[in-house]
Amino acid sequence: MMLEMLTSESLAPLRHGFFTRKGGASSGVYSGLNCGSGSRDQSELVEINRARVAKAMDAEPNALCGVYQVHSADVVTVKAPTRGDKPKADALVTNVPGLVLAILTADCQPVLFADREAGVIGAAHAGWKGARDGVLEATLDAMEALGAQRATTTAIIGPCISQRNYEVGPDFMEDFLSEDANYARFFANGQDDRMMFDLPGFGLHRLRTAGVGQADWVGHCTYGDEARFYSYRRSCHRKESDYGRLISTIRL
């Protein structure tokens, strides 16, 4: 099966992709293109999957640059292929052609950035915590340090969990409202005291408030489309032992 790589015309002609789980070598709960070395999948299969992604990006596997994601607002500026232990962070930026920035997700937002005029790109992993704590704004700051401008930067949110499938408790909502009462618009009523949180809507709000020239969501829900996407929350609801990780990439 061929790899499936979702793209955005707004990032063209840069090579980029929000890869689905289709076309991979993994099986079982990881069936498909599991690119998470932190999963309990067979490491050799993960490496095969990552090599297929690199080929689709017209790059060697060692050109894939990632981070040890910890739901932070930390950003790494990449100048050469990463070697050894990955730095703990949740976003990467570069202005070096040929390097492939890679982010792993399984419900959180993968966000790809580009200022094509300046020749600067970025990639961020933004769950609710990272988005609330400023990882998207920090990515833009790091891109500006390389010569990008927010007004000419495009940011595209890839497949992530949608509001209809993201149930949260009252404490979660209160935590958000304690920072900004206007965040109430990202919550809808669920059953009993539960609320439904709009993660991509919140991400778009943070990006647009930060001043990016264009910000969009591709519109695909990871929880609701099992054939194409891994989902941490879906795996928890099913009491599965683990889950696969999707990969999103961009290069100059």
Please report whether residue 190 resides in a domain: no
Q: What is the CATH number of the domain that holds 141?
A: 3.60.140.10
Please report whether residue 66 resides in a domain: yes
Number of domains in the chain: 1
Average pLDDT of span 8-30: 97
Residue 12 has pLDDT above 90, yes or no: yes
Please report whether residue 204 resides in a domain: yes
- Name the nearest CA neighbour of 33 among 43, 24, 20, 44: 24
Residue 84 has pLDDT above 80, yes or no: no
pLDDT for position 250: 98
Average pLDDT of span 45-64: 96
For residue 142, what are the domain limits?
5-162+198-249
pLDDT for position 68: 96
Please report whether residue 176 resides in a domain: no
Please report whether residue 153 resides in a domain: yes
Please report whether residue 18 resides in a domain: yes
Please report whether residue 179 resides in a domain: no
Please report whether residue 244 resides in a domain: yes
